[in-house]
Chains A and B, each alone.
Chain A
Amino acid sequence: MADIKNTNSSPKNQDYQTRGFRRATGLLAAMVLFTLFAQNLHEGTSNFWVSTLVPVALIVSYPILFFKPLKRIVDTPYFATLSLLCIAVGTALGTFVSQNAPAEVFTNRYGESGSSVLRFLQWDDVFHSWWYVGFFTLLAGSLLKTSWKKKFNRENLGFHLAHLSPIIILLGFWVDYFYGFRGIIQLETGQSTNIAKVYQGNTSYVGDSIAIPFRIRLDHFEFEKHDPDYRLQVWRNTEAEPHAQPAADAHGQQITGTPKIIASMPLKEAKIRHIYGTDIYFRLNEFFPNFTFEYTYPEINDNVEAKDPGVLLNMKTPFGQADVNLFSNRPGRNTIADEQHMGGWLEFYWEIPEALAQAINGQPETEWAKVNRIILVGTEKQIYLWVDGKLSKEPLEAGKFYPFPNRKEIGFTMKYLYPDAAYLLSTPVSDGEELLNPVAKVEVWHKGGHSEEAFLYPGGRRGGVFTIEGTDYFLALESFKDMETKYYRSELSVLDENDEVAKSQSIVVNEPMLYGGYRFYQSDYNPDNPNYSGIGISHEPGLYVIYFGFTVLVIGCLMMFYGKYRKQDSPV
């Protein structure tokens, strides 16, 4: 390419140029027609002669027909430029219609007749169509001829590199097209295989299977999400969709419509925030990474009337510890009847229950005696154990650990035994700094109005949010970050024909394993199956040729545009 813009436009020259343009267009159009007929014949019939020889004859006759003009046309600037534009248009066409889709998907999308027309034009697979490849072939011819005509010297080095490198890239590409493949190996931990499913064309539609000369074993797979990052969020309910299911917040208020997040703030205590367009302000008063209540019972005389007696127990299970209150006079709140997990029931009564009294007298109800029970009696400060049909009792001591019948790892410690829960003080605290049960205590107020306190906790629309009365806004405590994948990694082993490990490597996205001319990529996982890993496989013999072409192209352009020895740009 010359850097000087030629402005010769005499009528004679114009005429020559017009002819040059017509010839180039004619040549390219004829190529499209020839290849379209050839490819449709090739694909459309099973007759060997018709499907192979006629297309070959068509393809061969095309350049012969144009032999002389071809030689003259391909190195004209018109031809090179038009070829570039034709490839651009062809590529654009390929983005307007689904490519390589399975037949039924394609017909569904474009209808019977629509898809036949598209198929005839090879529009269902533009990038492998003969006409599309034809453009590249002609462009390659044009590049070769143009370069050939230009003198090989230091001044033109950039020009030659820039114009020959696309041919190198195309060669690498074609080598890969004919001798390479891409696919996927789906394995679970411990499994090994030498079979890969091959991708159809350049899509992820799976086609045939292929065997590789060694086996790949998945030794280990791991997958991690990002750490949670809880933030205070302002959401707004937009117009309700006609069929949206109403949900309720923690206070039973209905939330309708599709909520939209408006703002998200880091958990900075005491900083006053404002909701735009309103007179509403709020601030975070306290954040509890692992929210729990700390209970205290005042040291008062035992002569307090037993209005709402209860017991505060610290329950210990393999999953952790928690404070639990049982209230004698509140039905449903005086028993933990989880025999399956705890091996028995835990019950609290302030006065001795009748059924127990009968059992002590040796006449237990059969139904009642079926289950292992731990019965705490407040007035007596006694604990009755009913295990395997036998009754025992011992005094209840604060601070002593009582395991469940036959379950050493589950049990309870009594903290307080009290005649009236009204005197029980509960203070929200955080049990450690680990993010186990995050809760945010916020304060919300209208400008100049009274403030309201609310506890926010994660869990989406079904609770834990705070709806600001009289507005569409609600506050939430959520983390989005931990919904995203941080990494996934497979440890692979290559097994040779004797089942011996030839290579072991761990792969992550962007760090594939190379073995025997094949590359293995971390490309898929299944959040529901922690043992599954999708290993992408590719075999691309032309890859380094392509990389070489890339480098030469950039160097060539650089030399041509800014090189020391190039012809200097002249002003027009």
Chain B
Amino acid sequence: MLESLYYTSTLFKVTFFLYALALAGYVVGIFRKEKVFGTIPYALFTIAFLACTVLIADRWIEAGRPPFKSFYESLVFAAWTTSLISLAVEYKFKVRLIGFMSAIGVVMIFLFALTKRDVEIIALPPALQTWMFIPHVISYFLAYGALFVAGLTAVLFLALPKGIASHHTLGEQSRIDFSATTYQITKFGFLFLTAGLLLGAWWGQNAWSNYWGWDPKENWALITWLIFAAYLHFRNIPSWSEKRLAWVVVFGVAAIVFTYLGMDYLPTAQDSLHVYSGD
């Protein structure tokens, strides 16, 4: 991993360092209730997010194509959308813990990206040389980022079912209910998950003459969609406790992770058109 880090660009190193610094700030913030210990990590996380934006833009220019092709590129983009959503959620709900957990997630994504580092930039194959590639990927990664953060708030709900008071908050806030927060974020994520799925079908029709090919990745994308659709419907069943609801979201996030990373383990993956290049 150190060898990989050595050969990455300075921009990557700086971004990674800033995210790690933000995480350190959040760790300190857990033990100190003063407002400034919430503001500093939030500011650091914002700066790291901006650096990540530059990193992606730079890659886009260098590659001369959208930087969403290789596994490494998609991981960096996943870190970007996760931090974007986390910053927005932390700002809206004034909860430091969300930033803290997202920062852990983002740092882990970066470490994982290092092991999947691209030695060289790959050119886009013909099927990906279309503008339709961009909204499809952006929708999906916004959805993944949001649902990942929703998964974090669901875990927070399971850990702190009574919510938390202002100790961990950024700004004025009395009490936060993580179940309601999870629902708000999941709704947003589900909307983009739907858009991503349908944009993918539309693009698939243009590229492979097939809007739905029962490809394993497509199937698992449908499965994640169904799980989150089920979550939204489980809310209407009075006897389903909020605890169970939180578990459905966690389960949905696990399905996303499997859809994203686990396709190689499926016996049907050899027929897939969606498995990322680069190991």
* A residues whose Cβ falls under 8 Å from a Cβ of B: 1-2, 5-9, 13-14, 17-18, 77-78, 80-81, 84-85, 87-88, 91-92, 94-99, 109, 127, 173, 182, 201-204, 226, 231, 233, 261-264, 276-277, 480-481, 484-488, 508-512, 519, 521-523, 536-538, 540, 543, 546-547, 550, 553-554, 557-558, 561, 569, 571-572
Contact = CB atoms under 8 A, between A and B. Distances in A.
21 contacts: A2-B235, A5-B183, A6-B238, A14-B239, A77-B236, A85-B226, A85-B230, A87-B222, A98-B268, A99-B214, A204-B271, A261-B119, A277-B3, A481-B123, A486-B126, A509-B127, A536-B208, A536-B209, A554-B195, A554-B198, A557-B194
Contact of B126 (A14, A481, A510): A510
Contacts of A262: 3, 7, 119
A263 B4 CA distance: 9
B267 A96 contact: yes
A463 B195 CA distance: 51
B10 interface: no
Q: What is the predominant secondary structure among interface residues of chain B facing chain A? A: helix
Interface string B128-162: 01101000000000000000000000000000000
A261 to B, nearest CB: 5
A554 B194 contact: yes
A485 B7 contact: no
A342 B194 CA distance: 68
Contact of B125 (A9, A88, A484, A540): A484
B7 A95 contact: no
B68 to A, nearest CB: 16
A91 B219 contact: yes
Nearest to B222: A91
Interface stretch (B20-28, B38-46, B85-93, B184-192): B184-192
Given A78-B237, A203-B271, A571-B177, A538 B209 contact: yes
Interface stretch (B73-81, B95-103, B199-207): B199-207
Contact of A546 (B122, B180, B211, B220): B211
A276 B208 contact: no
Interface of B: 2-3, 6-7, 119-120, 122-123, 125-127, 129-130, 132, 177, 179-180, 183-184, 187-188, 190-191, 194-195, 198, 201-203, 205-214, 216, 219-220, 222-223, 226-227, 229-230, 232-239, 242, 245, 266-268, 271
Contact of A519 (B127, B209, B267): B209
Given A84-B230, A485-B126, A487-B126, 15 more contacts: A1-B233, A13-B239, A92-B223, A96-B267, A182-B209, A202-B212, A276-B2, A276-B6, A485-B125, A509-B126, A510-B130, A511-B206, A543-B205, A553-B198, A554-B191
Contact of B191 (A87, A509, A561): A561
A47 to B, nearest CB: 32
Contacts of A9: 238-239
Nearest to B133: A510
Contacts of B210: 182, 202, 538
A2 B234 CA distance: 11
A1 B235 CA distance: 8
Given A87-B226, A509-B207, A510-B132, A488 B219 contact: no
A559 to B, nearest CB: 11
B120 A231 contact: yes
Contacts of A276: 2-3, 6-7
Contacts of B125: 484-485
A485 B129 CA distance: 11
Contacts of B123: 226, 481, 484, 486
Nearest to B198: A550
Contacts of B219: 91-92, 94-95
B39 to A, nearest CB: 27
A327 B271 CA distance: 59
A487 B129 contact: yes
Contacts of B195: 554
B179 A572 contact: yes
Chain A CB count within 10 A is highest, among B129, B227, B239, for B239
Given A202-B212, A262-B3, A17 B191 contact: no
A95 B3 contact: no
Contacts of B206: 510-512
A17 B268 contact: no
B191 A558 contact: yes
Contacts of A546: 201, 211
Nearest to A556: B194
Nearest to A537: B209
A102 to B, nearest CB: 13
Contacts of B222: 87-88, 91
Contact of A95 (B6, B184, B220): B220
A17 B267 CA distance: 39
A264 B120 CA distance: 6
B177 A572 contact: yes
Contacts of A8: 238
Contacts of B236: 1-2, 6, 77
A85 B127 CA distance: 32
A83 B179 CA distance: 24
